[in-house]
Structure 1
């Protein structure tokens, strides 16, 4: 079976074609980096909500901006995205897609049309997909608990959208799976439909490409300082600053990839059992109330009163991030708007809401 499986990685029509394991590995690299950065943003937000809370609330936008800068840097200088360059791959224009020669060096970048198309598909599609998944999750939550019930006409479209999304998502994932199967069998030049939409395919870096990268570094180090007008100097300084930020970000990500294995071990089931045994101690006292401004609620004296509306709680709901209990409708609207606990300021999402069911209910 191993010998037969090895034939699946052979390059049927192209000698420089990467194997399915290489392309799948580079696809999963950024999906592994994002949760790590998100965990860092959450830790910062919990350590100081007033100063670092915006990292958690605007994480998707900040991550997309950094991703845009990173992918632009690599596409313009390496003809590849960051994970593709990390695994020694580059993008070349498909035959008939602009007449670009196959011997074009990686340092020359992609043609403008394919460059911007690749950049949009690399950055915009994951961002929109993440936002759509969060929207679906929020709409389902509102539909389950009748938060802000829609009108009769809108309600039918609303329910139809929720019902159709699983089938649309299934078709999307099936499209990618079928493309990968065609790539394994040598029936396609690319493993992802996004590459086909960009009009490119992946190939391995050649010795000429590696030599061109080294020459480019040497030329950049020996380049003289610009002696033109003030505007030209400012433009040159701006380009160097952006290049330095992109280089620092790419270097940091390259180093951080090696720590992902540690994160996987840390969150593994075996290690979590060890952590539970070490943390089986009495519960600590409630966290000290933080000064979050005029909208920060005061804790009521009666334990049955909601800290937000100061009325007897209805549909008791606790926050797993802080342990405080509120009315479901009150805390749902607050967390949806502020993404934090109203008492402690800890970073909180809607999935951290835990409904409590008393014997009377």
Structure 2
């Protein structure tokens, strides 16, 4: 569902550039996506006892009863499942937004940015304002007390929410780990509360679900045709058939929308990278190496020889202050005694010696 949410919000953002009225929908994106999720999951649960995400992988939900044959969810179980699937993520998103809105960055140890709620100052300011207003009169004293209670409640929430979030994430991880180790039939706390498990839908189960769906629709259309006058029957039947078509094709349309969103994301990302590559400046040339000092060790005519021992370099090494290469023992002994580069006489230490694993 995160990909679906990103696709929906991105599409609304693009359309809102030409239709400013859609900005109002973006202001209520949590509520809008909750309605979309409720519609999709409601249709999927009613048709195949599975959520919209489960149908993409050929899965279905069934009550967990090892001693009984698998069966579809009852309407009551479908409503309970829908409440958890839509209500819990919505409440979690609202609590997270509330926490992010009332926290502030503070400098911590080693310059790290920590997040701490803005609680003491707000509660103190509320208390001071309440004292001042109570001193001036008692007409709005209950309003000040209400504001103080809200500040205290916000303070408690800001302190408890990180711990609650940690417990929730830890509980979800524990269930997933237990499910992978086959220690539990539930891979999430929600399934455990609902006493449901997810299973692979067989071809026979899918055929039975499709047959039951068609039979229910046939009964609904028959009931509409047998009531009211001709125009009312025609309108009601048209509305039912339009709803059936929307329900049948929404899944495929949303899958295509997700793929289209990913394609557009890749296309524009590639175009931006290409433009950035074309505008990228060439790297500047490296600085010239330090010149040899008059009293330094002269460089040999053959660059493969060590300037100190005048033999082929073994265990090549260099000093970072100059970049000239030597034998590692020669360079180590020279810097230990002289404290400088042999060629340029620039001050150096043992820490500036680096091994070279490929000599050129």
Instruction: Give the structure-2-normalised TM-score.
Output: 0.57
Change in CA separation of 1:66 and 1:148 when aligned onto 2, cut-off 3 Å: farther
Q: Structure 2 matches for 1:79-94, cutoff 5 A?
A: 79-94=49-64
- Relative to structure 1, is the Cα distance of residues 158 and 62 closer, same or farther in structure 2, using a 3 angstrom cutoff? closer
Among candidates 86, 92, 100, match of residue 123 of structure 1: 86
Q: Distance in 2 between matches of 1:170 and 1:158?
A: 19
Counterpart for residue 39 of structure 1: 10
Corresponding residue for 1:151?
Answer: 126
User: Is residue 75 from structure 1 mapped to residue 71 from structure 2 by the alignment?
Assistant: no
- Preserved CA contact (<8 Å) 1:92 1:203: yes
Counterpart check, 1:66 vs 2:36: yes
Q: Say if 1:78 and 1:90, in contact at 8 Å, map to a contact too.
A: yes
Q: May I ask how many residue pairs the two structures share in their alignment?
A: 241
CA shift digits 1:32-60 (9 cap, x unpaired): 110111111112222332x3222212222
- In the alignment, the residues of structure 2 paired with residue 69 and residue 148 of structure 1 have an alpha-carbon distance, to the nearest angstrom, of 42
Structure 2 portions without partners, runs of 5+: 105-116, 128-147, 281-360
| Structure 1 residue 201 displacement after superposition | 0.4
Q: Distance in 2 between matches of 1:122 and 1:165?
A: 21
Change in 2 beyond 3 A, CA 1:47/1:179: same
Inter-CA distance 68–222: structure 2 relative to 1 (3 Å threshold) = closer
Unaligned runs of 5+ in 1: 1-29, 281-361
Asked if 1 retains the 8 angstrom alpha-carbon contact of 2:47 and 2:213, the reply is no
1:170 aligns with 2:166: yes
SS at match of 1:230: coil
Please say if residues 47 and 210 of structure 2, whose CA atoms lie closer than 8 Å, have aligned partners that are also in contact: no
Structure of higher RCO (CA pairs closer than 8 Å, 6+ residues apart) = 1
Q: What SS is found at the alignment partner of 2:60?
A: strand
Q: Cα offset for 1:277?
A: 4.8
Specify the alignment match of 1:243 in structure 2.
244
Aligned to 1:252: 253
Alpha carbons 1:90, 1:204 under 8 Å: kept = yes
Secondary structure of the equivalent of 1:203? strand
Q: Once superposed, what is the RMSD of the aligned Cα atoms? A: 3.5
8 Å CA contact retained: 1:92, 1:102: no
| 2:191 paired with 1:195 | yes
Q: Is the 8 A contact 1:117 1:198 kept in 2?
A: yes
1:32 and 1:188 map into 2 onto residues whose CA distance is: 28
Q: Which has the larger radius of gyration?
A: 2
Are the aligned partners of 1:67 and 1:123 in contact in 2 as well (CA < 8 Å)?
yes
Map Cα deviations across residues 81-101 of structure 1 (whole Å, 9 max, x no partner).
Answer: 0110110000111118xx9x5
Any idea what SS the aligned residue of 1:258 has? helix
Deviation at 1:165, TM superposition (A): 1.3
Within-5 A mapping of 1:267-282: 273-274=273-274, 276-277=276-277
Distance 1:242 1:218, change over 3 A: closer
SS in 1 for 2:197: strand
**Cα deviation, residue 216, structure 1:** 5.3
